[in-house]
Structure formats: C-alpha cells, structure tokens
Structure 1
Amino acid sequence: MKIKISRTNVSPVRLNVEVKSQGKLGDRPVAFILPGGPGADHTPYLSYACLQGVADLVFHDPRGCGQSNKDNPAGYTLNTYIDDVESIRQALSLDKIIVIGKSYGSMCALGYALRYPDNVEKLVLSAGAPSYRFPDTAKRNLKRKGTPEQIKVCEKLWAGKFSNRDELLTYFQLTQPLYSVRVKQQKSPDLIYKSKQFSYEVLNEGFKNDFWHFDYEAQLPKVTCPTLILAGRHDWINDVSHAEFMAARIPYSRLHVFENASHAMEVDAAEEYFQTIADFITL
C-alpha cells in the first residue's frame, strides 16, 4: 500500500508500506522494521518476516528509497525519517508499537523512542550507535582491518560522494567482507540487486549531514521502554563499544553481543539473532 505523508514542515510524499499480519492489525503486538543505510528499502529486511509468529509486522521504504516517492535531498534527514514513522503509525490507527531498527534504522528507532515515548511498547536497537561519534571508531577499525582498496572506497562513503549506483555497487563488492564474517567477497546477483534498490542519494545526504552532528547520548536515560540492544563483536562500522555505552545508560535495557558476527548479524548468526528478538517480544 502507499500512505500519503503530508506535514507542513516537509514535502508531501507517498511512502510504500507492506503489512504482514495475522488477522486484524493491532490485535497482536505490532513491530515496525526500520531499514538502515541510509538508503535501504524494506526488501533486505524481509528475513525479519520470521518474526510473524510473535508479532504483526510493518515494513516500509523510507522517502527516496525503493518504491516510495523521491524528495528534495533536504528531506532525507534523520528527523524526517522519525516523523515519517509516526505518520505511518497514525495512518494505520495503531496504539503502542514495537520498534526494531537495524544500523541507521537503529538510530532512527532510538530517536523515535525519545520523541514519541508514549507510542513505544518495546525497542530493539540492532548494530546501532547513539551519536555522531560512530564514524571515528569506524575509521579506526577500518584502518586496522581494511585493505588499501577498502580504505580508499570508504573515502566516498565518509564524504557522501557516490555519483551513481555503479559506484555504490563497487563499494558493496569491496567492503562485503567487513560487514559479514561469513560472506566472501564476490559479485553475486543478490549484491547487484541490493545496489539497484539502494538509494545512493539518500546515503550521500546522511554522510554529508546527519552523521556528523546527531547526538542522543545525554538523552539515553530518558528511554523508558524495555530495550534490547544487539551487537556483533566484529562490527567495524558501528563498533560494539557504542552498544555497550547505550546498555549502560538506558535504564530497562539488555545487551546481547554475537561473538562470531560482524554488522550483518542476521546473516552471521541468523538463528540466534531472530530467536533473541522473538524471545524479547514475547517477554
């Protein structure tokens, strides 16, 4: 379905939303799955459909991504993403929701829980970070773990200077081994598909702007809902230290570190990863 988002402070757009429910939406717990990137649509997150046994699921393509409308680049912000999630919740006439964010989606999920605390039943922060300090640890990890080619291609990432999807595909091809301890570097059909679905324009805006100044660290004690924090021990871009920092400051939180996983925990430790989330939802 397409949901029209029309607020006075942003351009009106239609967002692509996919609902997976058993019966009437809202009769069971409802979990929103927030894509990362920035620039990803919902399709790489369809593996989360295995959680349907414990909750109804709401997937969406953020503005500028997938089948949602494009927008002025000024609209591709963390704040807009957060408020778009709230607009979807309202459009679906839902009360409290479970918010599950992965990577950049985790940053948005944290921001949502802080801005709309009364609307969040539970919060899952996966492979995330609470502030602009994450690129500094990522750069240190890259210097330690990365090849010269990987270090060079990441210069475009830090600067938000991908010119087209081909450049983004090259980035994914070269850095795949950093994101997963299981996936070997290869030119796979799945990788090509991912790059075609990924919005390099939205990715660029994140690294040009939001990622250098957003900061939720001082507000972490204000997160009032039960929170599950997930991290891969070998995550290069959102270092495990950021998960530990959040777990030490969010009052009702628990931390689960996957010892044999990098950023892509849902690939490196799939069974344990999804079972941990399912158990948290059913508590």
Structure 2
Amino acid sequence: MSGTDTTAEFARADGDADMIMINGNRLAVEVLGPEGAPVIITHHGAPGLGSRAEPKASFGRLADAYRVVVFDARGSGQSEGNGTFSHEQWAADLDALREWIGADRICMAGGSYGGFMAMEYAIRYPDRVAALVLRDTAPDNAHAELARRNALASDRVKVDIAKFDRIDAGQVADDDDLRDCWREILPLYDFHYDPASVERKVAATPYRYQAHNYAFSTNLPNYDLKPQLPGITAPTLITVGRTDWITPVSCSETIGGLIPDSRLAIFERSGHSPQIEEADAWTRTVRDFLAEVYPGISTSTTR
C-alpha cells in the first residue's frame, strides 16, 4: 500500500490508557471485557474531534460478553499524529490493532466518520471481519449537501455559515477555531436541544485540527464506497436516528440496499446518537444482532 506505514511494533506506557505503538504512532488504547471473548474493535467518529470516550461508553456495555477495543485514532484524542491521515492508513492501523489484540477475525464497529472507516476496513480486509456494526453514517460524500440544507433549515439556531463552511471544508485555522466552529454546529445533533449540554460537549472535546482538516479537505471530496459495498459479505447491522441531520436516514437506507446481508434499525427519538439518546433500545438491538453472529455467547445483563 503505497504511502502507508504498515509497520507493527507493540509497546506499552503508563497513563489512563495503554499507549500502543502502531505503525509509527503511539495510540491510546483501552481493552474491556474477558480474554478469549469475541473481539469488537470500534472506531470513533469526527477525526480531530472524536475520541475513544463515546465508543467506550456505548460498546463498553457489551464488555460482559465481548472483548471491546476502543482507541483514539492517529491524530485524535491522546494519540500521536505522525504521518498521513488517509483512509488507507487509518484502515491499516485498525488491522495492526487486530493483530495486536490477537484476533483472527473481529466485529468491526463505527459511528459517523467511524462508520466510514468500519466500511473501509471491511472492504480492504474482508477476511478479517466476522460482523459489521454501523451507526449514523454514509456510503459517500453526498450527505454533505444534505447536511448543509438541514443546517440552514434548522429552527434551533441560526448557523454562522462562514464557520459551517470552514469546518465542513476542513479549513479551520487552529484548535481554537475548530472549537468555535464545533460549537456552532453542535446544537443540530441531538433529538432534544439542550444548550447546557452543548457547552459541556464543547468543553469535553479534544481538539486536533490537523486531522480534522485532512479528513474533510482531502479524504471526503472523493469518498464513495457504493461500488464496493455489494462485495461486503459479513452480516451487517445499520443503526440510525430518525432526525439525524448530518448523515440522514436516507444514507443508511442506501447502505442497507447495497450490503447483501444487512439489516436497518431506525430509532425514532434520536438524532445523530441513538446509542446515547435511546441507549437501552440501541444496546438491545446490537446485542440481539451479535447473538446471531456469535451463538452461545452468554451475557450478564439484559441491556
């Protein structure tokens, strides 16, 4: 894979996560759940804004029965950001994590931009994927125009279009600018708008503008997985919130129409985050799906 670092050297360091040397970067990684259980590797969304915190909270609920790997992708959260932030490289990092955890095959999971990467991984490493779990994601960059229209039509806030365009085009100036642009669009995400919750999220987000800019200015303009999706053979669960503004239901329906062995679950009282807004129902849906993929796995909870 030209231009992609695929060297795998594994090391550990102290901190609130293990720092694992993956392809020339120390990535912040946490492993939840029992040894020997089926492995789920999750990819967070929003490069340069996302982190392992969200998938740890949502997929961590499954750690009674599954080995859940959550991490900060290169350039995000606490991980280093050396080299490129291409989809090819991020997928290679995922496969190095699979090798590090010692799993021949995994359940690959991701939401939003993490869903882009989950599908990229399933396409690039098909023999390594036993199942695919997607949330609020899209198969191509056509969702960008849908999101822009939804943002401009919102009755919650009047969006500063200059800030919207900077974050959408990957042209933010620095971490402070990324924070200001992120605050601008956050009111659009949830089913119920809570200004105080928006400010808590703004304060809790780790800002890494270089990864964000690369993802949105370089990766996304030509992003289109639709021709490859019919080749995914792993059973696939697609989940989405009914009022998702940025990757609307129609995007998930397109994915479901292209991946042969897939099913779609729509959560009626959720925006972009049914794993938070309808946590119990979303978790049950994922558990039921995984129980078919991994029959005989016992759980200690009904959630």
What percent of counterpart residues are identical? 31
Residue 25 (structure 2) pairs with residue 16 (structure 1): no
Equivalent residues of 1:174, 1:185 under 8 A apart: no
Superposed displacement of residue 188, structure 1 = 6.0
| Correspondence for 2:116 among 93, 103, 107 | 107
Q: Which residue of 1 aligns with 2:62?
A: 51
| 1:141 to 2:153 alignment | no
Contact 1:54-1:281 at 8 Å conserved across structures: no
- Residue 206 of structure 1, CA deviation: 1.0
Q: 1:189 to 1:259 in 2, by over 3 A?
A: closer
Q: State the secondary structure of the residue aligned to 1:172.
A: helix
Gap change, CA 1:15 and 1:116, over 3 Å in 2: same
Q: 1:171 to 1:275 in 2, by over 3 A?
A: farther
| Residues 43 and 115 in structure 2, CA contact (< 8 A), matched pair in contact too | yes
Q: Deviations over 1:66-123 (max 9, x none)?
A: 2211224xx1122211110001111222111001101000000001001111111110
Matching residue of 2:14: none
Alignment of 1:181-196 (within 5 A): 181-186=191-196, 190-195=200-205
Q: State the distance in 2 between where 1:186 and 1:200 align.
A: 24
Paired amino acid for 1:127: D
Looking at structure 1, the residues matched to 159 and 143 of structure 2 have their Cα atoms a distance apart, in angstroms, of 21
Say yes or no: does 1:233 pair with 2:245: no
The 1-side partners of 2:160 and 2:41 are apart by 33
Question: Residue 268 of structure 1 corresponds to which residue in structure 2?
Answer: 277
Bigger mean CA offset, 37-46 vs 83-92 = 37-46
Distance 2:197 2:68 in 1: 31
1:254 to 254, 263, 268: 263
Which amino acid in structure 2 is aligned with residue 5 of structure 1? I
Amino acid at match of 1:52: A
Deviations 1:24-45 (A, max 9, x none): 2xx2111111111022121232
- Decide whether the 8 Å contact of 2:41 with 2:107 is kept in 1: yes
Q: Is there any run of 5+ residues in structure 2 with no aligned partner, and where?
A: 1-17, 293-303
1:170 and 2:180 aligned: yes
| 1:4 equivalent in alignment to 2:21 | yes
Runs of 4+ residues deviating >3 angstroms: 187-190
Q: Give, as a single letter, the amino acid of the residue that structure 1 aligns with 2:67.
A: D
1:119 aligns with 2:131: no
**3-state SS of 2:63 partner:** helix
Cα distance in 2 for residues equivalent to 1:21 and 1:41:
19
- Cα deviation digits, residues 234-271 of structure 1 (max 9, x gap): 11111111100111111100000111111122222111
The gaps in structure 1 that reach 5 residues or longer are 7-11
Q: Is the 8 A contact 1:54 1:282 kept in 2?
A: no
2:71 to 37, 53, 60: 60
Q: Distance in 1 between matches of 2:260 and 2:86?
A: 28
Counterpart-to-counterpart distance in 2, 1:151 and 1:240? 24
Q: Is the 8 A contact 1:122 1:226 kept in 2?
A: yes
TM-score (norm 1): 0.90
Contact persistence 1:141–1:236 (CA under 8 A): yes
Say which SS state the counterpart of residue 195 (structure 2) adopts.
Answer: coil
Contact 2:187 2:198 in 1 (8 A): no
Residue 9 of structure 1 corresponds to none
- Give the structure-2-normalised TM-score: 0.84
141, 151, 171: which one aligns with 1:161: 171
The answer (yes or no) to whether the contact 1:127–1:231 under 8 Å persists in 2 is yes
Shift of 1:163: 2.1
Q: CA deviation at 1:150?
A: 4.5
1:190: how far off? 3.2
- Describe the shift of the 1:55–1:248 C-alpha distance in structure 2 as closer, same or farther (beyond 3 A): same
Amino acid at match of 1:89: R
